[in-house]
Amino acid sequence: MTAGLSGLRPWLAPLAWSLLLLAAVLGMAELEALFRQIQPGTGAVIYQRDSFAQLLLNHLLIVGVAALVSVSLGVAAGILATRAWGRDFLPLVSQVASIGQTFPPVAVLALAVPLLGFGSLPTIVALVLYGLLPVLRNTLAGLQGVPPAVLEAAQGMGMAPRQVLFEVELPLAAAVIFAGIRTTVTVTIATAAIGSTIGASTLGDPVIAGLVNGNTAYVLQGALLIGLLAVSVDSGFERLQQLIAERQGL
C-alpha cells in the first residue's frame, strides 16, 4: 500500500492538472456567477455552441494527428541526415529546422487556406509544419551529441549500422529527442487554437467567438482550458523525461 502510494507520488503533478482540466470541462457552467461578474448584462456568459468536452476531444484529435506526423517526420529526417550516406542533406535539413522556427504559425495557416481550403485539414498541415521544427532540431542535436569515441567503438566491435543506430545512438540521444517532442506537442496544443480562425473545431472556438462578439467570458473560458490542457500534457512529459533519465542511470 505504502509502496503503491510512493510510486504514485511522481505522477501527482500531471494527475492533479488533468483532474483540474476535467473539472473545468465538466463544471464550467457552475462558474456562471463568476463569469457574470466579468461579463455583466443579460446575454449568455457560458459558451454553449458546442460542449467543452466535444471541443476538448476535437482539439486533442487534431493535436494528436499533427504531433504524431511531425514527430515521425522530424525524427526520421534527423536520422537520415546524420547517416553516412545522408550527410549531403545535413546542411539543408538543419537550415530548414532553424529558419522554420522564426516563421509565425498564423502565416503558415494563411498560406495553407488557399491551397487546402478551410477546416481541420489545413490546420493539421500547418501544425505539422510548425511542430516539425523542435523535434527535428533536437533529433539532430541529440544524434550529433553522441561522443565520436562511442561511435568508433560501436563500429569497431562489429555492430551493424542498424544496431549502432537502435542500440547506441537513439538511446543516447533519447533524452534530447524527447525534450524536442515535448516542445513540439506543447507548441502544437497552443497553436491548434488558431485553427478556429479557419474553421477547425478546437478549444479556440470560444476564444474567437468571444473576440468577435466582445464577450470576455468566452475568451477566458477558452483560454483557461487551453492553458490547463497544455500544462497537464507538459507535466506528463516532464515526468516521462525523468523516467528516461533514471533508466539511463544518469
Partner 1 sequence: MSARPMIELDNVSRLFEGVAAVDGISLRIDSGEICVIVGTSGCGKSTTLRLLNKLIDCSSGDIRIDGQAIAQLDAQRLRRRMGYAIQNTGLFPHWTVARNISVVPRLLNWPTERIEARVHELLELLGLPHADFAHKFPSQLSGGQAQRVGVARALAGDPDILLMDEPFGALDPITRDSLQNELLRIQSRIHKTIVFVTHDIDEALKLATRIVVMDQGRIVQHDTPVNLLNHPANAFVESLLGQGERGLKRASLQRVAERMLPLQGTPPAFSVAAQDSLRQALSLMLWHRVGELCVRDNEGRAVGLLPISALLHGATA
**Least gap, CB of 15 to partner 1 (angstroms):** 29
Q: Which grid cell sits at 239?
A: 515526468
User: Which of 72, 188, 187, 183 minimizes the C-alpha distance to 138?
Assistant: 183
Confirm or reject binding of residue 90 to partner 1 (CB under 8 A). Answer: no
Cell of 73: 517526420
Return d(Cα 207, Cα 223) in angstroms, integer.
Answer: 7
Alpha-carbon radius of gyration of the chain: 22
Is 157 one of the binding residues for partner 1 (CB under 8 A)? yes
- When asked if residue 155 is in the footprint of partner 1 (CB under 8 A), the reply is yes
If we measure between CA atoms, which residue out of 176, 175, 181, 194 comes closest to residue 234?
A: 181
Stretch that binds partner 1, among 117-125, 168-176, 188-196, 232-240 (CB under 8 A): 168-176
Whichever of 90 and 175 has its CB closer to partner 1, that residue is: 175
Residue 84 binding partner 1, by CB under 8 A: no
Q: Which of these ranges, 23-31, 36-44, 158-166, 189-197, lies near partner 1 under the rule CB under 8 A? A: 158-166
Of 171, 188, 202, 197, which is closest to residue 230 (Cα–Cα)? 188
Collect all residues with Cβ–Cβ distance below 8 Å to 245 and sequence separation of at least 6. 175
Count of residues engaged in binding partner 1, rule: CB under 8 A: 20
Instruction: Residue 142: name the closest of 177, 91, 166, 90 by CA.
Output: 177
Minimum Å gap between C-beta 95 and partner 1 is 25
Q: Which of residues 169-198 bind partner 1 (CB under 8 A)?
A: 171-172
Stretch that binds partner 1, among 133-141, 163-171, 198-206, 208-216 (CB under 8 A): 163-171
Q: Which of 188, 178, 205 is nearest to 65 (CA)?
A: 188
For position 241 contacting partner 1 by CB under 8 A, the verdict is no
Q: Which residues in the 111-150 window bind partner 1 by CB under 8 A?
A: 147, 149-150
**Cβ neighbours for 23, distance < 8 A, ≥ 6 positions apart:** none
- Smaller CB separation from partner 1, 8 or 160: 160
From the list 16, 99, 107, 160, which residue makes contact with partner 1 (rule: CB under 8 A)? Answer: 160
Q: Does 7 bind partner 1 (CB under 8 A)?
A: no
The binding site for partner 1 (CB under 8 A) comprises 147, 149-160, 163, 168, 171-172, 248-250
